[in-house]
Structure formats: structure tokens, C-alpha cells
């Protein structure tokens, strides 16, 4: 497999909503190779998550590495979000050197297909929930810089 070049802002593909991957395509050599290359790219750039749009593919596919586990998510959707939110700094491989505060739900439930086409459900909180929301936003053409949260400074 290979390390893929990362598309950086303002590349227009980053703003595109992605196409669903058909179940008949999931087991194709192209999709299997793409998933392996995306994991290799994620490792090379020391990232937490990578969406297909970030490597120039308009496919509903993202990969994440968290707590020593690897996740390839095909056609992921957020099924529910907690009403409790938190603000934390986010960055991204397509935005080198940019880190901004973003408000996101503390917990999410995500449904997706794994690399074998099996339906999976993930319950996540904290950083993993944030990463899932960030990558799924990429698949919708939504960038974290559009969600910047202005932190109110206390009055003196």
C-alpha cells in the first residue's frame, strides 16, 4: 500500500458531500487497498482520523485509530448525540498548524459498515466522540473551521 497525499484547505473536494459506497463495492480490491492506504497515511501523519475526501476521494469512508484500535467506517451516520456539549481545541491533517476551539457533543452513537460490510455500532465519548463527529463532518463537506466557538472572556 502507499502513503497518500493529503488535500489541504482550500481544496474544493473538502467541501463536497461524499457518495455512499455500495455494498457490492465494499469487498472490491480497490476499496480494500484504499482502506489499507488510508491507515498507512494516518500513521505516517500521526493523525487520529482520516476521511476519504482528505485524500481526494468523494467516498463515504473514514478511518480512525483510538486506544490502540483501528476503525474503518463505511457509510457512517451519527444515530444520536448527547445534549451535553464541551468545547475543546481541534486541528486536522488538511489544516496544518491550525487549532481552534470547537463545541461538540460529549457522547455519540454511530452506525456504519466495517471493512467486511458488517453493520457495526459504536458508542463513544470524550476524544473518540469528538474524532467521530469531526470525520463524519468531513464526509458531509463540513469543516471544523466553520464550527469555531468564540470563547467568552470573563468581564473584569
Task: Supply the residues annotated as catalytic.
Answer: 135
- Angstrom CA distances, 126 to 27, 67, 130, 155, stand at 32, 12, 6, 29
3-state SS, residue 44: helix
CB distance 76 to 139 below 8 Å? yes
DSSP 152: P
CB distance 139 to 60 below 8 Å? yes
**Sequence-separated (6 or more) residues with CB below 8 Å from residue 146:** none
- Angstrom CA distances, 49 to 19, 85, 110, stand at 19, 21, 15
Amino acid at each position: 500500500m502507499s502513503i497518500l497525499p493529503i488535500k489541504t484547505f482550500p481544496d474544493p473536494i473538502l467541501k463536497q458531500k461524499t457518495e455512499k459506497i455500495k455494498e457490492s463495492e465494499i469487498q472490491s480490491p480497490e476499496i480494500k487497498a484504499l482502506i489499507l492506504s488510508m491507515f498507512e497515511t494516518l500513521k505516517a501523519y500521526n493523525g487520529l482520523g482520516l476521511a476519504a475526501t482528505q485524500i481526494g476521494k468523494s467516498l463515504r469512508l473514514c478511518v480512525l485509530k483510538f486506544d490502540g484500535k483501528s476503525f474503518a467506517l463505511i457509510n457512517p451516520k451519527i444515530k444520536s448525540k448527547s445534549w451535553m456539549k464541551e468545547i475543546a481545541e481541534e486541528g486536522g491533517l488538511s489544516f496544518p498548524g491550525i487549532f481552534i476551539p470547537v463545541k461538540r457533543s460529549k457522547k455519540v452513537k454511530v452506525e456504519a459498515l466495517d471493512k467486511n460490510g458488517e453493520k457495526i455500532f459504536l458508542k463513544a465519548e470524550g476524544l473518540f466522540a469528538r474524532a467521530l463527529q469531526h470525520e463524519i463532518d468531513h464526509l458531509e463537506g463540513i469543516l471544523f473551521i466553520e464550527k469555531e466557538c468564540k470563547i467568552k472572556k470573563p468581564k473584569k
